[in-house]
Amino acid sequence: MQRRQWFSRLIAVLAAASTPLLPSLALAADEAPDALVQRISGEVMAAVKADAAIQKGDVNRIMALVDSKIMPNVNFSRMTASAVGRFWRQATPAQQKQLQDEFKTLLVRTYSGALGEVKDQTVSFKPLRAKPEDTEVVVRSEVRGRGEPIQLDYRLEKTADGWKIYDLNVLGVWLVETYKTQFAQEINTKGIDGLIASLVQRNKAGATAKAG
C-alpha cells in the first residue's frame, strides 16, 4: 500500500476515534481541559457504539451527533482565521463569515464520515503539562486499536465559556497548518472569493457523494 493510501486510512481511523474527544455543549468553566476531553470522549464513543444507524454510516445521524456534541465547542473563529492566515485581515466581515461557515461544513463532513468506523478503539491520555494559570494547553493522547498506537494531540484555549479546541495534531501534523498551506495557494491564485467558491464546491461535491 502506498504511503498516501496508508495515511488516508489512518486519518479515517483517527477521526473515528478522535473526533469524539472534542468538547460537547455543557462546558464547565472550571473543568480541567484533559478531564473535559476524557469525559466527552466517553460520552460520544458510547453514543456511537450504541447507535446502529451511525455504525452503518447513516450520514444524517452522524452529522447530527458531530454538530451537536462537537462543533459548538470548537473555536471556529480562531481556527478559520489561523487557517486563512494573513489573508484573514484582508477579508470583509461577510467573507469571513462565509469562510467560517464553509470551513465548518468541510470539517464536519470530513470527520463525521469516519465516526461510522468506530469499533474497538480506545484512547489513553498522557499527563497534562500545564500550570494553573495557563490559558492555552495541549492535551496529548494515543489512539489504540489495530496496529501501533497513534499520536493524537489537541490544542485548547480557555474562554469565558470553558475550554475550546482550536487545532488538532495527527502524527505530528497540525490540522490548521495543513489547511493554511492549501488556502494560501487558493487565495494566491484566485483570491479570497476564489477560496470561498472552492470550499462551496468541495462541500457540494461531498454532499452529493454521501447522498449517492
Query: What angle is formed at CA 103 by the lines to CA 166 and CA 195, rounded to 5 degrees?
Result: 125
How far apart CA 175 and CA 19 sit, in angstroms, is 13
CATH of domain 3-211: 3.10.450.710
Task: From 192, 126, 188, 139, select the one nearest 165 (Cα to Cα).
Answer: 139
Whether the per-residue pLDDT at 7 is higher than 80: the answer is: no
Confidence of residue 100 (pLDDT cuts 50, 70, 90): very high
pLDDT digits (tens, 9 = 90+) for 8-62: 444 444 444 344 444 444 445 578 899 878 877 777 777 788 888 887 777 778 7
Q: Does an H or E element contain 198, and which?
A: helix 175-211
Extents of the domains making up the chain = 3-211
Predicted local confidence at residue 10, as pLDDT:
41
Q: What is the pTM for the complete model shown?
A: 0.75
pLDDT digits (tens, 9 = 90+) for 173-210: 898 999 999 999 999 999 999 999 999 999 888 777 66
Q: Which residues pair with 158 in a beta bridge?
A: 163
How far apart CA 116 and CA 126 sit, in angstroms, is 26
